[in-house]
């Protein structure tokens, strides 16, 4: 598989240079982080990748025998020199990820607080060990796929995203970031500059997903859960649940999480929330799996994610 279209390659040395390029080229520029998504998207897709209107049987089929690549940017802008976008900062009450932090780097951080461990779970299971050495958290978010593992994990952490452009910086909550499969509120001239999630005591989170195999999978269903326990009673003070691959974007299971407030962190509570989470989504059936199966998986995975989150919140470790 080769890249057939031509693009010009830019390699800005500073963030300001990068932002200037984004301002200049907008939507015809694709930033290049790990490349695990963009490079594949740019390769010729052969005869089977379909454009939206192909696939309607017609009496004649003119010209369309090789459908062009999904992604054909005129400019590819490498982020390789932007060292300021790398790294993971662990603060007293929050964690800040540079968008270029790779999945491997995140997965290797055993010192991440239990509150944000869902991100580590997600980073550790995405793709494969090889892909994780290239794939970045920023790329995973910005590509905005409904099954994106770290996006789902961050969503239950109420993460905030910092978007930068020549016009300045703005902050967006992750819940309002995704607008559809592959689309987000990020403007064409904006660069995702940082991802931040709060991390406090008595909190724990977890992410689980299921595919058919145990590696190299895209989630059939992904589930993340975050809990804050009351230090006195041990009851659930606050909960968040997020789901992937069951809607056009990663979504929060708001009603299900609300059920948990004030309840004991036990199997009964989790089952209740899981059932509500399952009832609250309308996944599609596609060639990977049926809606009915996805409903079942939501139940199982939410329950298990809650169990692990609770254990971590209580200080029980992994």
Partner 1 sequence: MKRLLTLNVNGREHELATVPMRTLAEVLREDLGLTGVKQGCGEGECGTCTVLLDGRPVNACLVLAVEARGREVTTIEGLADGARLHPLQRAFIEQGAIQCGFCTPGMILTAKALLDENPGPDKSEIRAALSGNLCRCTGYQKIVEAVAAAAEADRKGGAQ
Partner 2 sequence: MNGHQVVGSRAERVDAADKATGKAVYIDDMTRPGMLYGALLQSPVAHGMIRKLDTSRARALPGVHAVVTAAEAGSGRFGVSPARYDETIFAIDKVRYLGEEIAAVAADDPITALRAVELIDLEIEELPLVLDMEQALTPGAVQLFEEYPGNVTAEVFQEFGGIEEARARADRVYRDHLLSKMQDGAFLEPQGCIAETDHRGYLTLHSSTQTPHYVQRTAAMLLGLPTEKVRVVKPCVGGGFGPKASASNMEMAACLLAIETGRPVKISFSREQVFLRSRARHQFLHEMELGVKNDGSLVFLDHRCVLDGGAYSSFGIATIYYAGSLLGGPYRLPNMRYHGLRVCTNKPAKGAQRGHGGVIARALFESLLDRAAEDLGLDPVELRLKNVMSTGEVTCNDLDMSSLGMRECLEQVRDRSGWTGKKGRLGRGQGIGSACGFFVSGAGYPIYRSGTWHCTVLVQLAETGGAAIVRSASAEIGQGSDTVLAMIAAEELGIPLDRVRVQSGDTDLSVDLGAYSSRQTLMTGHAARQAAADARRQVAGCLAEAFDRPATGFVFKDGFVDHVDGPLDVSKVREQFLKEHRGFSGLPEGPRLTFREASRLAFVMKGSIVGRGEYRPPALGGRFKGAAVGTSPAYGCSAQIMEVAVDEGTGQLTLEHVTAAHDCGFALNRTQVEGQMQGNFLMGLGEACFEEVKFDDLGRTVNPNLAEYKIPTMLDVPDMDPVIVESSEPNGPYGAKEVGEGGIMPVIPAIMNAVHDATGIRFRELPLTPERVLMAIKDLRETGEVTFAADEKCRKVMTLMEGIRKERG
List residues near partner 1 by CB under 8 A: 1-9, 11, 32, 34-36, 39-40, 42-43, 76, 78, 80, 104, 127-131, 133-134, 214-216
Nearest residue (CB) to partner 1, 6 versus 268:
6
Tell whether residue 65 is a contact of partner 2 (CB under 8 A). yes
The stretch among 14-22, 105-113, 225-233, 293-301 that binds partner 2 (CB under 8 A) is 293-301
Task: Please report, for residues 104, 105, 107, 197, 255, the alpha-carbon distance to residue 110 in angstroms, rounded to integers and kept in the order given.
Answer: 12, 10, 8, 17, 32
**Cβ 31 to partner 1, closest distance in Å?**
12
Q: Residues touching partner 2: how many (CB under 8 A)? A: 42
CA distances from 31 to 12, 68, 108, 130, 175 (A): 11, 20, 25, 21, 23
Rounded Cα distance, 53 and 65, in Å: 14
Structure tokens at 206: 């977890």
d(CA 198, CA 218): 27
Strands 29-32 and 75-78: parallel
Q: Is 289 in the site for partner 2 (CB under 8 A)?
A: yes
Decide whether 23 or 131 has the Cβ nearer to partner 2.
131
Q: Based on the shown chain and the rule CB under 8 A, indicate whether residue 130 belongs to the binding site for partner 2.
A: no
- What proportions of the chain, in percent to the nearest 5, are helix, strand and coil? 30, 25, 45
Q: Which 3 state secondary structure label does DSSP give 310?
A: helix
Name which of 106, 73, 66, 103 is nearest 90 in CA terms: 106
Residue 231 in contact with partner 2, rule: CB under 8 A: no
**Window 206 to 225, contacts with partner 2 (CB under 8 A):** 210, 212-218, 220
Looking at the Cβ atoms of 26 and 46, the one nearer to partner 1 is 46
Neighbours of 122 (CB within 10 A): 29
Cβ distance to partner 1 smaller for residue 6 or 53 = 6
Torsions phi, psi of 80, nearest 5? -60, -30
Contact between 292 and partner 2 per CB under 8 A: yes
**Number of CB atoms found within 10 A of residue 71's CB:** 17
Q: Are 247 and 146 in contact (CB under 8 A)?
A: yes
Q: Count the neighbouring beta carbons within 10 Å of the beta carbon of residue 184.
A: 22
Strand partners, 239: 227
Q: Is 62 a residue that touches partner 2 (CB under 8 A)?
A: yes
Binding-site member from 15, 44, 185, 284 for partner 2 (CB under 8 A): 44
Say if residues 233 and 278 touch (Cβ distance below 8 Å).
no
Nearer to partner 1, 25 or 160 (CB): 25
- Residue 26: DSSP 8-state: G
φ, ψ for residue 71, nearest 5 deg: -120, 125
User: Least distance (Å) from partner 2 to the CB of residue 286?
Assistant: 9
> For residue 290, what are its two tokens?
């049926």
- Contact between 268 and partner 2 by CB under 8 A: the answer reads no
Task: Confirm or reject binding of residue 256 to partner 2 (CB under 8 A).
Answer: no
Q: Does 64 bind partner 2 (CB under 8 A)?
A: yes
302 binds, among partner 2, partner 1, none (CB under 5 to 8 A by kind): none
Closest approach, Cβ 91 to partner 2, in A, equals 35
Closer to partner 2 by Cβ: residue 212 or 232 = 212
Residues at the interface with partner 2 (CB under 8 A): 1-2, 4, 44, 46-48, 50, 55, 57-66, 128, 210, 212-218, 220, 287-290, 292-293, 296-297, 299-301, 303-304
């Amino acid at each position: 598989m080769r890249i057939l279209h031509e693009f010009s390659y830019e390699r800005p040395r500073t963030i300001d240079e990068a932002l200037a390029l984004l301002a200049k080229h907008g939507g015809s520029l694709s930033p290049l982080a790990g490349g695990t998504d963009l490079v594949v998207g740019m390769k010729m897709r052969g005869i089977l990748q379909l454009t939206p209107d192909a696939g309607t049987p017609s009496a004649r089929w003119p010209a369309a025998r090789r459908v062009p690549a999904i992604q054909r940017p005129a400019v590819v802008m490498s982020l390789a020199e932007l060292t300021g976008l790398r790294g993971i900062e662990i603060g007293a009450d929050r964690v800040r990820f540079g968008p270029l932090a790779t999945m491997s780097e995140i997965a290797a951080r055993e010192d991440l607080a239990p509150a944000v461990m869902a991100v580590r779970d997600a980073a550790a299971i995405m793709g494969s060990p090889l892909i994780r050495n290239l794939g970045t958290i920023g790329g995973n978010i910005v590509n905005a796929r409904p099954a994106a593992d770290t996006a789902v994990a961050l969503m239950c952490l109420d993460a905030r995203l910092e978007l930068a452009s020549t016009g300045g910086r703005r902050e967006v909550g992750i819940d309002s970031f995704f607008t559809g499969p592959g689309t987000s509120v990020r403007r064409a001239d904006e660069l995702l500059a940082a991802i931040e999630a709060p991390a406090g005591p008595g909190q724990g989170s977890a992410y689980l997903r299921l595919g058919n195999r145990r590696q190299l999978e895209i989630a059939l269903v992904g589930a993340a859960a975050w809990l804050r326990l009351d230090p006195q009673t041990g009851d659930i003070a606050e909960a968040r649940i997020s789901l992937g691959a069951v809607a056009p974007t990663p979504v929060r299971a708001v009603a299900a999480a609300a059920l948990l407030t004030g309840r004991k962190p036990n199997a009964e509570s989790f089952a209740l929330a899981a059932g509500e989470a399952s009832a609250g989504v309308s996944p599609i059936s596609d060639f990977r799996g049926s809606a009915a199966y996805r409903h079942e998986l939501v139940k199982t995975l939410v329950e298990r994610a809650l169990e692990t989150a609770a254990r971590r919140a209580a200080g029980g470790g992994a």
